[in-house]
Amino acid sequence: MNHSIYSADRSTHLKIVAVALVAGIAVAGFGISARSGSDSSYTQTAHVIKAGKPVMVTSSQTAVLR
């Protein structure tokens, strides 16, 4: 068994690629199956936000006396 990727033969590289491919498919399959469970309580709705009264914003930190 070769412990270095540089000195590994063709079959070792093929085994590494095959294991990586199977692991990638497994992770993708798990992600798709975990996400596909849809529940009606998680639906998104648009909320309308209306503008309120105008507000004066200043950059000074001093108190305003009226």
The pLDDT confidence band at residue 52, using thresholds 50, 70 and 90, is confident
Q: What is the pLDDT of residue 7?
A: 81
Longest C-alpha distance within the chain, in Å? 86
Taking the C-alpha atoms of residue 17 and residue 5, their distance in angstroms, rounded to an integer, is 12
The pLDDT confidence band at residue 63, using thresholds 50, 70 and 90, is low
List phi, psi (to 5°) of 39: -125, 140
